[in-house]
Amino acid sequence: MAVATAATIVRTLHRIQRQLTDLRGRLAAGPRQITAGTGRVTAAEAARDQLADELRQAQKLVDTKQLQLRSAEAKIGDLETKRNTAKTNKEYQLLGEQIEADKMAIKVLEDEILESLERVDEVRSRQPAAATLVKETGEKLEAVKRQVAEETVHLEQEVARVSSQLQEAEADLTDALRELYQRVVKHKGEDGMATVDGGCCGGCHQQLTGKMISQLLLGDAVMCRSCGRLLYDPDQAA
Ligand SMILES: [Zn+2]
């Protein structure tokens, strides 16, 4: 019966662990995409609400100034009535000056109302684009959610399939090697294994001893003394 070399088994385990890392990475990418999309929707909604708030405030300013205008106009009316019944020239003249001053104030107020109305129009004109952005980011997010849900089903099936391959491959390990393998994988995952590379550790590039290189050439797996990775020679993996 042909016995697989340690190098063959570790190479298989390394490949499967890399596959699992890749699959888990793709699984984790889904929720991140959803989070990013949700963030864009939230930002678009905040911008839309901010505009609605600006519009309310601009409208409120117009209302306030229009009230001030009406009350200023009423005051001028009162002053004019008083002037018509003025007892002295001096009183007549003073009331006239006051009326002129109030009329000036009204002109300023009218200009301010025009500016405020322009502001209302300007804010209102930005609302359709803001609403469109909310709709578009929302639709995109829904599409991403559907896509991620589909991919997740597929990826989880793949993880299950590859995990059972991993169990099968792990069963081929000798007890001593299994202990070593489980320790490195627990701490470093797939990065706990590396190929030998020109007499050096493929993980940390530390030069290996002659004895280790001989073991690797025999198809053994050895542990790098520098980084603790489980090393194998891919050329010895039949
Ligand atoms: Zn190393």
CB-neighbour burial class of residue 100 (10 A; exposed 0-12, middle 13-18, buried 19+): exposed
State the pTM of this model.
0.73
CA of 25 from ligand 1 middle (Å) equals 24
In whole angstroms, give the CA distance from residue 116 to residue 124.
12
pLDDT given for residue 148 in this prediction: 97
Q: What is the pLDDT of residues 14-29, one digit of tens each?
A: 999 999 999 999 999 9
Task: Give a yes or no: residue 141 inside a domain.
Answer: yes
Task: Give a yes or no: residue 132 inside a domain.
Answer: yes
Same domain, 94 and 204: no
Same domain, 144 and 42: yes
Same domain, 147 and 230: no
CA of 18 from ligand 1 middle (Å) equals 18
Q: What is the pLDDT of residues 101-121, one digit of tens each?
A: 999 999 999 999 999 999 999
Same domain, 142 and 198: no
Same domain, 136 and 185: no
- Helix/strand/coil for 108: helix
Cα dihedral 123, 127, 128, 129 sign: positive
The label of the residue with tokens 């003394």 reads 225
Q: Is there a contact between 237 and 5 (Cβ–Cβ < 8 Å)?
A: yes
Domain final position from 152, 172, 192: 172
CA of 225 from ligand 1 middle (Å) equals 7
Torsion angles phi and psi, residue 222, rounded to 5: -125, 160
Task: Give a yes or no: residue 106 inside a domain.
Answer: yes
Q: What is the pLDDT of residues 164-192, one digit of tens each?
A: 999 999 999 999 999 999 999 999 999 99
Task: Give a yes or no: residue 195 inside a domain.
Answer: yes
Domain final position from 172, 199, 226: 172
Task: Tell me the angle at which helices 89-171 and 6-84 cross, rounded to the nearest 10 degrees.
Answer: 170
- Helix/strand/coil for 225: coil
pLDDT given for residue 238 in this prediction: 67
Residue from 31, 20, 56 nearest 158 by CA: 20
Same domain, 178 and 164: no
Task: Give a yes or no: residue 36 inside a domain.
Answer: yes
CA of 163 from ligand 1 middle (Å) equals 26
- Mean pLDDT over all residues of the chain? 95
Range of the domain at 214: 173-238
Element (H, E) at 194: strand 193-197
Domain count, the chain: 2
| Exposed e or buried b per residue across 5-29, where buried means at least 16 C-beta atoms within 10 angstroms of its C-beta | bbbbbbbbbbbbbebbeebeeebee
Task: Give a yes or no: residue 128 inside a domain.
Answer: yes
CA of 228 from ligand 1 middle (Å) equals 6
Domain final position from 172, 206, 228: 172
pLDDT given for residue 1 in this prediction: 37
| pLDDT confidence band for 236 (50 / 70 / 90) | confident
Q: What is the pLDDT of residues 44-101, one digit of tens each?
A: 999 999 999 999 999 999 999 999 999 999 999 999 999 999 999 999 999 999 999 9
